[in-house]
Every structure is written in C-alpha cells, then in structure tokens.
A and B are shown apart, each in its own frame.
Chain A
Amino acid sequence: MDLGKSNEAYWQPVFKGYEVSRRWMAGNTPDVIVLVYNDHATAFSPDIIPTFAIGCAGSFAPADEGWGPRPVPMVMGHPELAGHIAQSLIQSDFDLTIVNRMDVDHGLTVPLSLMFGSCAAWPCRVIPFAVNVVQYPPPSGQRCYQLGKALRRAIECFDPNLNVQVWGTGGMSHQLQGPRAGLINQAFDRRFLQHMVDDPESLARLPHIDYLRDAGSEGIELVMWLIMRGALNAQVREVHRFYHVPASNTAVGHLILENT
C-alpha cells in the first residue's frame, strides 16, 4: 500500500481477500482495539525482552524500521482501559510489562492498514499488546489462551457500553532465516484456521516444537492468535475466512469471528 502497489497482480488476491473484511469493519468499527502483535526488534532491543507488554500511553508513533516511518497516522491509545486491563491481568496472576512510551512497527500498523485502508486518522483507539516471539520461548499457547480469557473479564468489567475488539496477528506459517527460509505449510495453516473456529483448546495444547517443525521458526507467532480466541465465547460465528500464499515472505490468513 505504501508504495502504491495495491493494484499490482502479485498483491491483488491479498487485497481482494481484505475487501470483505474492510466492508465488515466499516459497519462494525469498535471504540477500541486491543491489538495483540509482535514487535520486530523495534521497541525492544536485546537489553529487555518482556514476554507480555501492554501499551498504556495516549499515543504511539509509527516506527522507522530503516525506510523512514510508515506513512500512516499516529496510533491513539486508551490509557484508562489499558491501565485497567493491566491491573486486572496482574491481579489475575498474569505477569505483564507496562509500557508508557514506545513506537509501533509494521506488526501493529500493517493489520490496521489492511482493515482500514488509507486514512487520515485511525477510526478508533488502539491498545498495543506486544508478545515476545524474538527470543525462544514465546509464551505457550495455553498461557496465551488463558490470558485471553482474563482479558475478556477485564474488558467486560470496565465499561459495558464500550465496544472493544481483540485482534490477534502474526503468521501464518513462515521461516525467514537459515537454509529453510521460505517454508510455507498450507496444510498446517488451514487446520489452524479451522481449529481456531471450532477447537481452540486443541490449538492451546499444541507444543512449541510442532510450530517450529511444521510452521517454521517464525510460524510460532501464531500463538498470539490464541489471546484473541481466548477472549471470545467457546462458540463463535465465523464471519469471514481468507488464506493466500504468498504475501511478502509469509502465508497470510485472516479470520473474523463474532460471539454467538
């Protein structure tokens, strides 16, 4: 999008897949998105590696990742809700790092661009929720899933009139490093998408070694989706599903789920 390439043949199928999503988003824009994502060594250096980090600031600038900051709007946070979530999760025995200042990289801003398109301002507030997937191990699927449930409880007791979405990002299967770079596992990804809908408990039990072996060293990012899924009801309605290879160096998959 940033390079005006949306209409190039390579990118056409990806953007067509998101057309449905954008129409749905336009009719279902929330007040706040809790956006679970992975920082790509932008905000976090080798010096400090938080497993879970919640952005409690009023705003977050798009990061310069080597090509200048992405030309997208400032991300506006929700300090009151973020602070409430942090307190609630810590008291529910989840260990969080509280971040009061950080730039947000493509892991957070590209999903926003995909869902909202080009805009002068994002149409809602965003609480960045960063999960470590840089240094192994990331948190387990089970930990992510349970955190999602605690996140749901925290959001529900904040303000019943506030409309909140939880986004899980990352993946899908891919590997960016070593001789096995370029790995894509469509069978794994399609199973993952299906189980996200109808059997998230089985995904929560999937050990890290299975992700590494079958979905690539970078495919382990997919555990982040379980935070989103844990925040939903056991039974969900599938609004939209989309999968495409390739998108840059990964397989891209997309699900929109609603509570029934």
Chain B
Amino acid sequence: MALDKPYADIPGTTVFDAEQARKGYPLNTFCMSLMQATNRERFKADERAYLEQWPMSEEQKQAVLARDYNGMIRLGGNIYFLAKIFATDGKSFQYAAASMTGMTQEAYAQMMLNGGRAPPGQSDG
C-alpha cells in the first residue's frame, strides 16, 4: 500500500519520506562517502569512475555529473546528504539553494535580505 502523502501538493517542495529515502539510498550513501578527504580526491580525479562504484541508477549518476540538484532530489536525494557534493565543490548552501530556484546567487541573496520568499496561500495556523 502506498504512503499517504498529504504534502504531495506543496509547491516547489519534495518531502524526503520513506519512499524517497528508499529510492535515494545509493545516492545518499555515495554523498556520505565524500565526508572522507581521500574519497573527495578520488571523486574529483574521475567523477564517473567513482560513481560507478555505487549501485545508483544511471539517472542518479547523470544528475550528479550535471550537478542537477532538483533532479537529485526528485531521484531520492536529501539536501543534507547532497550538501557533501557542493562542499566538495567548495560551494555554499546559498549557492546550491539558488541553483534550485533558477535564480542567480546574487538575486537569491537579495531576496533573503528582503525578508525571504513568502508562501502563497498560507494557512491561518
């Protein structure tokens, strides 16, 4: 029986639930391996060869090679694991977040300075 997902219609948001975790396990464990410096060096030396050691789908590998973070999330990645990839690239959280919104980092930073992105149609809580 499929998971009950009342959050499926929240715009611009993928919730990392059990189903996503199941799909993303190989991708997320690959990400965790980048916490070791020797692994980061091996990955940077030949990304495709490093990825081949993980039971990831071809789609997941392509998403990593392309640094397509929205794609990685769709394929089961979670941002806290994916952060190891952009840390390896020497990029900040703000850089990665901006890339997922289709904004430049400068525009994203300005939006945050202006108070952030307000949610449309918010409930009265």
Contacts and interface: CB of A to CB of B under 8 A. Distances in A.
Interface of A: 10, 40-42, 45-47, 64-67, 134-137, 173-188, 191, 206, 208-210, 212-214, 216-218, 245-246, 248-249, 251
A206 B124 CA distance: 12
Interface in B100-125: 100-102, 108, 111-113, 115-119, 122-123, 125
A167 B79 CA distance: 25
Interface extent on B, as a size class?
35 or more
Contacts of A176: 79, 93, 96-97
Interface of B: 6-7, 10-18, 21, 24-25, 28-29, 31-32, 35, 69-70, 73, 78-81, 83-84, 87-88, 93-94, 96-98, 100-102, 108, 111-113, 115-119, 122-123, 125
A216 B10 CA distance: 9
B116 A245 contact: yes
Contacts of A134: 16, 78, 80
A248 B29 contact: no
A179 B28 CA distance: 20
Taking chain B's interface residues, is the majority helix, strand, or loop, or is none over half, making it mixed? helix
Contacts of B69: 177
Contacts of A47: 29
Contact of B21 (A135, A177, A218): A135
Contact of A177 (B11, B31, B87, B100): B100
A20 B119 CA distance: 31
A214 B124 CA distance: 9
B37 to A, nearest CB: 9
B17 A135 contact: yes
A246 B116 contact: yes
B73 A177 contact: yes
Contact of A182 (B11, B80, B108, B125): B108
Nearest to A192: B125
Contacts of B117: 175, 180-184
Contact of B88 (A46, A66, A137, A173): A66
